[in-house]
């Protein structure tokens, strides 16, 4: 027999975590299949036909059961039947009326408050439960067979599981199959549970690292550094980086601390040491004009390169691990030092470049938030910068980044609106193509992976960096279609915002 639930089969470590419950799930499946009619035990492509037919027939079977309950004045059981009809057919008028829904002016539905139905006689309630099981048996058994068949399309298997959740929302085996955990009587995603634990752990790691590396070594500028930077106010260094603060700056220490603090956070996030960047050095300038003057003094840059980098807030010297930063505000210069160091490591570790915009920006913004509680830096890719939409998109991102909103809160608000761009929209774009809302979704996806899906995060980032096609990436790395992943992430956003 195939593995009962494909997500445990494909998601590796989660299978071990859920092994005990999976045994119970397999047993439940076996019993259900044994009870299913022969047509529901079809093989191959017939499984889909049987399930689709059962799905079409289920609402009528449930309505008939509701009518049987109404004749016997079994109010609670009748409502339960209509709730399942509505879960399968959201626009069913009879179910809406029976459940006392009122359509609002904006087109949404709101359920009217009613008193709890009286308890039904025990014997009739037992009979009603048996009849409900009979009404649902064809859908339950056929959906199970579709869901467990790894050869069938992922979208169909997700839909089959959704059907089981619709008609059996309180079944622990079905919830387990969907990678959910019961917390205080409420089912939440396993990723939600892990995020609540892991998010706090990683923030604590960052706080401890900021304290540990709070006193980098002070030193004097070298002749080469003076030649490039001009007068120097301060120089600080540690094992991670050397930071040269030109006259007029006071944040060299903070930049050195931030870069060093990101290293333990990397280890906590990815369960591996960060790639080492040899002789990493940052030059900080108090204003764009001072940085541009240094660019003009730098004999490693061509005239074309100088023209290009002056449109930015920072730039790397060619063939060196030296980065010049001249963002107008000191906190942004600190963040740029962190982000620039990180992007070198992200490319080395995961092969992620600016072409994979969601991962490049998403990972960077997650680190910015955890280490610095900031989101003010954005990146662009040179070859496509002159495209028609490039400068406009960048201007929109910069305007968005000037705000001080809580990004997770902003993402939760966006996830409930039609304007939510969706995961598919961001997977194929480079950094130049990301609109502000897509930048926000990129951050959400990276955070979901780092905090909620540590078991697959490294592989997911690496396969994205290597250019794995989006649909294959979602199914192969995460065990969902892109649309299934999108729905799951929006639910994760809601749940992580609940207390």
Task: Give the pLDDT confidence score for residue 109 in this predicted structure.
Answer: 87
Q: Identify the architecture of domain 213-350 in CATH.
A: 3-Layer(aba) Sandwich (3.40)
Task: Give the pLDDT confidence score for residue 434 in this predicted structure.
Answer: 87
SS3 321: coil
Task: Give the pLDDT confidence score for residue 3 in this predicted structure.
Answer: 25
Widest CA span in the chain: 95
Q: Quote the CA–CA distance of 289 and 132 in Å, as a whole number.
A: 75
Query: Token pair 């047509």 is at which residue?
Result: 39
Q: Quote the CA–CA distance of 139 and 267 in Å, as a whole number.
A: 46
CA-to-CA separations, 247 to 234, 252, 257, in angstroms, rounded: 8, 11, 19
**Which DSSP symbol is given to 38?**
G
- pTM comes to 0.86
β-bridge pairing 322-325 and 281-284: parallel
Cα 323 to the chain's mean position, in Å?
30
403 Cβ contact list (under 8 Å, min separation 6): none
Q: Quote the CA–CA distance of 43 and 284 in Å, as a whole number.
A: 67
- Dihedral over Cα of 401, 407, 410, 416: its sign: positive
Contact 350, 459 (CB under 8 A): no
Query: Which runs of E-coded beta strand occur in 273-363?
Result: 281-284, 314-316, 322-325
SS3 479: coil
Q: Quote the CA–CA distance of 289 and 454 in Å, as a whole number.
A: 43
What is the per-residue DSSP string for 49-66? HHHHHHHHHHHHHHHHHH
Q: Quote the CA–CA distance of 318 and 326 in Å, as a whole number.
A: 17
Contact 238, 260 (CB under 8 A): yes
Closest to 274 in 3D by CA, of 347, 214, 198: 347
CA-to-CA separations, 291 to 232, 245, 287, 297, 328, in angstroms, rounded: 13, 11, 7, 10, 10
So where are the chain's domains? 6-178, 213-350, 353-499
Q: At what angle do helices 122-148 and 154-167 cross, to 10 degrees?
A: 170
Token pair belonging to 207: 């706080």
303 Cβ contact list (under 8 Å, min separation 6): none
85 Cβ contact list (under 8 Å, min separation 6): 59, 62, 63, 66, 92, 94, 95
CA-to-CA separations, 220 to 227, 239, 244, 314, in angstroms, rounded: 13, 17, 9, 23
The answer for 247, left when phi > 0, alpha when psi is -120 to 50, beta otherwise, is beta
Q: pLDDT tens per residue, the chain (499 residues)?
A: 222 222 323 333 333 333 333 334 434 444 444 444 444 345 557 999 999 999 999 999 999 999 999 999 999 999 999 999 999 999 899 999 999 999 888 888 899 988 889 999 999 999 999 999 999 999 999 999 999 999 999 999 999 999 999 999 999 999 999 999 999 999 999 999 999 999 999 999 999 999 999 999 999 999 999 999 999 999 999 999 999 999 999 999 999 999 999 999 999 999 999 999 999 999 999 999 999 999 999 999 999 999 999 999 999 999 999 999 999 999 999 999 999 999 999 999 999 999 999 999 999 999 999 999 988 887 765 544 434 345 565 566 556 666 667 899 999 999 988 999 999 999 989 988 888 899 999 999 999 999 999 999 999 999 999 999 999 999 999 999 999 999 999 999 999 998 7
The answer for 482, left when phi > 0, alpha when psi is -120 to 50, beta otherwise, is alpha
* Measured distance between the N- and C-terminal CA atoms of the chain, rounded to whole angstroms: 41
């Amino acid at each position: 027999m195939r593995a009962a639930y494909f997500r445990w089969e494909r998601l590796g470590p989660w299978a071990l975590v859920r092994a005990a419950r999976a045994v119970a799930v397999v047993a439940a499946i076996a019993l259900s299949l044994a009870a299913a009619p022969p047509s529901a035990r079809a093989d191959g492509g017939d499984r889909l036909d049987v399930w689709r037919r059962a799905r079409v027939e289920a609402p009528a079977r449930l309505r008939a059961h509701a009518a049987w309950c109404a004749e016997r004045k079994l109010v609670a059981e009748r409502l339960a039947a209509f709730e399942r009809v509505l879960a399968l057919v959201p626009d069913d008028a009879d179910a809406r009326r029976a459940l006392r829904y009122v359509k609002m002016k904006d087109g949404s539905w709101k359920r009217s408050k009613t008193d709890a139905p009286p308890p039904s006689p025990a014997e009739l309630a037992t009979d009603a439960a048996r009849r409900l099981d009979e009404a649902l048996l064809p859908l339950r058994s056929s959906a199970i067979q579709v869901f467990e068949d790894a050869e069938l399309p992922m979208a169909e298997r997700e839909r089959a599981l959704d059907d089981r959740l619709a008609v059996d929302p309180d079944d622990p085996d079905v919830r387990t199959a969907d990678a959910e955990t019961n917390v205080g009587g409420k089912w939440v995603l396993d990723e939600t549970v892990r995020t609540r634990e892991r998010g706090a752990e990683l923030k604590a790691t960052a706080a401890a690292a900021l304290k540990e590396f709070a006193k980098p070594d002070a030193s004097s500028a070298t002749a080469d550094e003076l030649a490039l930077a001009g007068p120097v106010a301060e120089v600080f260094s540690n094992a991670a980086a050397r930071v040269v603060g030109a006259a007029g700056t006071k944040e060299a220490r903070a930049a050195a601390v931030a870069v060093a603090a990101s290293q333990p956070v990397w280890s906590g996030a990815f369960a591996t040491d960060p790639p080492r960047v040899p002789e990493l050095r940052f030059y900080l300038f108090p204003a764009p004009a001072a940085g541009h003057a240094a660019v003009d003094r730098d004999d490693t840059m061509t005239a074309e390169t100088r023209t290009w980098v002056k449109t930015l807030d920072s730039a790397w010297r060619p063939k060196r691990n030296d980065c010049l930063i001249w963002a107008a505000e000191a906190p942004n210069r600190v963040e740029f030092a962190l982000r620039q160091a990180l992007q070198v490591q992200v490319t080395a570790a995961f092969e992620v470049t600016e072409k994979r915009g969601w991962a490049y920006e998403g990972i960077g913004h997650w680190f910015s938030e955890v280490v610095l509680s900031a989101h003010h830096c954005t990146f662009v890719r040179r070859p496509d910068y002159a495209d028609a939409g490039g400068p406009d998109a960048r201007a929109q991102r910069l305007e968005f980044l000037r705000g001080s909103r809580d990004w997770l809160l902003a993402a939760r608000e966006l996830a409930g609106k039609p304007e939510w761009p969706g995961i598919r929209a961001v997977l194929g774009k480079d950094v130049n193509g990301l609109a502000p809302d897509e930048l926000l979704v990129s951050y959400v996806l990276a955070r979901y992976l780092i905090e909620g899906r540590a078991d697959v995060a490294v592989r997911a980032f690496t396969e994205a960096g290597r250019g794995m096609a989006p649909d294959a990436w979602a199914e192969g790395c995460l065990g969902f279609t892109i649309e299934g992943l999108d729905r799951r992430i929006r639910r994760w956003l809601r749940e992580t915002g609940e207390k």
